[in-house]
Amino acid sequence: DLLQALPATEFASLNGDVRLLTPGAVEGWSDLVHCPSQRLLDRLVRRYAETKDSGSFLLRNLKDSERMQLLITLAFNPEPLVLQSFPSDEGWPFAKYLGACGRMVAVNYVGEELWSYFNAPWEKRVDLAWQLMEIAEQLTNNDFEFALYLLDVSFDNFAVGPRDGKVIIVDAENVLVADKRLIRQNKPENWDVWYESKFDDCDKEACLSFSKEILCARVTVDHNYYAVCQNLLSRHATWRGTSGGLLHHPPAEIAKEGRLEALLDECANPKKRYGRFQAAKELREYLAQLSNNVR
């Protein structure tokens, strides 16, 4: 019985009259709180939906059972907390959190996985690729100054709404949140040096190379662009025995022009210093232009 076992665990130390959930107590429990700030933790507690006292960032305002459930969720599968703290209602690209019953969580059904669009008409694939790059940008740079880095990027982790054609992240278990305000405040070594992710040419599907420590310590990081370009869009993307990525077999005139292939290559495996940052920006603009042309 989980409830009977809990008092004997480290979670119990956060029971009773503990006022705030603090970084020192939960740091490293999961990707979500690999490097938490007080601002992030206050947001997690304030937006925790499975309590009558939703809206307070004070941990002691939760009942013991609610607090235990919050802590266990944070440690073992923080996905529901990502969906609650960065909700779709506010424009975040995640599935909508509906509620929980015990350890069962309900989210809205978005639609078919991105994978099922692998051989969709070219116009559709261009639009989906543009949306994926926009998601990478939104999660990296937003007004809240939280960078949400996707550590698991594959065709099965995104879905497409059948009516609106909107791309949504449907697997948010492996999301690392870095607080850019805290990084600027603490100024760790090289905090203001732009960080370029290393291309990972491995034999498996959906490979990504990253250092969580670096994601937590730099303000400007290209990880999300790298993940989307390498694992979903470019010729390096392999999934279920296919290769060539979502933008495989472009129309003859686009293939002949060569710009799309050059941008995808530079975004996945840059040859120039800071090449990925520039390529990602140009790729977003180019895909927007292509999708506007075909609409």
Q: What is the CATH number of the domain that holds 287?
A: 1.10.510
Q: Does position 134 have pLDDT exceeding 50, yes or no?
A: yes
Asked whether residue 97 falls in the same domain as residue 26, the answer is yes
Asked whether residue 199 falls in the same domain as residue 186, the answer is yes
Asked whether residue 59 falls in the same domain as residue 192, the answer is no
Tell me the residue type at 278.
Answer: Q
Burial of residue 199, with CB atoms counted within 10 A of its CB: 0-12 exposed, 13-18 middle, 19 or more buried: middle
Between 49 and 116, whose confidence is greater?
116
Number of independent structural domains in the chain? 2
Asked whether residue 77 falls in the same domain as residue 223, the answer is no
Q: What is the domain range of residue 250?
A: 112-293
Distance, in Å, from the CA atom of 279 to the CA atom of 268, rounded to the nearest integer, reads 9
Using the 3D structure, point to which of 107, 141, 173 is the last residue of a domain: 107
pLDDT digits 0-9 by tens, 64-90:
888 888 999 999 999 999 999 999 999
For residue 295, what pLDDT is reported? 43
Asked whether residue 79 falls in the same domain as residue 154, the answer is no
Asked whether residue 132 falls in the same domain as residue 225, the answer is yes
CA atoms in the 13 A half-sphere facing the CB of 186? 16
Distance, in Å, from the CA atom of 216 to the CA atom of 152, rounded to the nearest integer, reads 17
Asked whether residue 119 falls in the same domain as residue 103, the answer is no
Unique residue bearing structure tokens 């609610």: 66
Using the 3D structure, point to which of 49, 77, 107 is the last residue of a domain: 107
Asked whether residue 133 falls in the same domain as residue 150, the answer is yes
State the helix-helix crossing angle for 38-46 and 64-76, rounded to 10 degrees.
Answer: 120
Q: Does position 52 have pLDDT exceeding 90, yes or no?
A: no
Q: Does position 61 have pLDDT exceeding 60, yes or no?
A: yes
Asked whether residue 271 falls in the same domain as residue 186, the answer is yes
Between 22 and 7, whose confidence is greater?
22
Asked whether residue 31 falls in the same domain as residue 86, the answer is yes
Nearest to 50 by CA among 78, 29, 30, 69: 69
Using the 3D structure, point to which of 107, 129, 154 is the last residue of a domain: 107
Asked whether residue 58 falls in the same domain as residue 173, the answer is no
Asked whether residue 83 falls in the same domain as residue 162, the answer is no
3-state percent breakdown (helix, strand, coil) of the chain, nearest 5: 45, 10, 40
